[in-house]
Amino acid sequence: MSFRLALLLVALAGTGTATAGGFGIPEIGVRRTAMGSIIGRPDDGSAIYHNPAGLILQPGWTIYASMGIALIDTEFELAPWDQSDRFLGTQASSTGYYDPVKPSRAMGVIPMLAVTGEILPGKLVMGAAVYVGNAQGAAFEEDAVTRYHLIDGYVVAPSAVLSAAYKINEQITVGASAGLLYLRIHGKRYVFPIINGSDLSSYAGSKPELILDGTGYAPTWLVAAFGRPHPKVTWGATITGRVDAEISGPVQITFSDDATVPGDMLIGTQVTKQLLPWAFMAGTNVDVHPNVEVGGEFRYWLYRQYKKQLTDLSGIAIVDKLETIKNYEDSWEISGGVRVHDLEFAPKLDLMAGLQYDKSPAPAKSVTLDQPSFSHPAAHMGLRYQLGRFRLGASYVHYWYRIPVITDSITSPPSNIRGHGSNNIITLSIEAKL
């Protein structure tokens, strides 16, 4: 196998940007982000995303828009690996780690636009929406010690869906959604030139640049139920189908200025199979007082199916396939909260607060800096206010990331890190009755 081919293969195998650890972000809409409980009583347009059977709670015609922004604040310390000091031009401190480094950019956006309409009064409500269930990106400075792990990367996954809810009787409503998911990924980093013990720096340079891009489409579906067994009690449940998407695009490596042939390029294409697993969700809400509602929900993602990632290569001699071991575990989330409403001094105001815990599916040893996935507790708070035919909302969510101390990383180069971090999600919404 030539040095060129070996370099390209290792670069591909070590690039986590072609995958995403946990694709769905449930923080859509102010009801969810303020209270942490929407599956059991989805009373706004974001029901299309969380539980479409709850559209039955939307009489008439409604336009719903929400916009969330996630501002991530993290700091990592990266442990040295074989010959890393030589190429990074620095040494670890007495702690055994390089100096702490923070992303120059780490954020996400969570927009949604939905229209719902009552087709058969009290029986059938339909809806259509576009939303972005995952749009996250991060970047580090090109001279940071993380430059062989990530310089710039993002994943964007917008969806367009149609939904419907049909009320069978006073106790039960069924619903469903079907849509199309678009996936787009981008990654840029330098390839560490020590590969399987061989020093390729005299050939490819000390920092050959790798750029990987990919896009893909996949159909999605969800079935749901909503019930009101008692005037003060509601419940909801959903099943989201597994998606096996393919992300394809170019891979390019450009040799650095100190290479034998500076600027020389290696170009190929890749097709990566991306799994979005089965998901099961349920929740219930109870009016414990005329002015107080409490609710809780449980979400479960069947990530145990994601054992390895498969990448097919073309335009590259000798090797046509790569396998990367993932060994993901199932992921789950539990959350709940309280809503105070219809107060005598403020009858048009909803006040909400909640708590959440989310377990990551990714084993620590497979975590990458371009798509990190960490377990986290979270706190929610927010409000909604009815202003004529408009309902305005605002919320704030704070995550505390539980970043493990990783000592057995299987990425290339190793992502043995320790650190701390948080995420601050701010969401605004407006709902208009037509």
- Distance, first Cα to last Cα, the chain: 66
For residue 22, what pLDDT band results from cuts at 50, 70 and 90?
Answer: very low
Q: Output the CA–CA distances (angstroms, integers) from residue 352 to 336, 348, 395, in the order listed.
A: 11, 13, 9
For residue 296, what pLDDT band results from cuts at 50, 70 and 90?
Answer: very high
Cα distance between residue 268 and residue 286, in whole Å: 56
Query: Token pair for residue 85?
Result: 């000091």
- pLDDT-wise least confident of 66-75, 106-115, 190-199: 190-199
What does the pLDDT read at residue 21? 33
Each residue of 223-233: pLDDT tens digit? Answer: 999 999 999 99
Q: Residue 10: phi, psi to the nearest 5? A: -65, -40
Q: Give how many domains the chain has, as a whole number.
A: 1
Query: Token pair for residue 71?
Result: 């501002």
This prediction has a pTM of 0.92
Each residue of 121-149: pLDDT tens digit? Answer: 999 999 999 999 888 889 999 999 999 99
Residue 297 three-state SS: strand
Cα distance between residue 270 and residue 316, in whole Å: 10
Cα distance between residue 432 and residue 62, in whole Å: 6
**CATH number for 148:** 2.40.160.60
For 346-398, the DSSP string reads EEEEEEEEEEEEEE-SS-GGG--SSS----EEEEEEEEEEEETTEEEEEEEEE
Domain extent for 65: 3-433
What does the pLDDT read at residue 64? 98
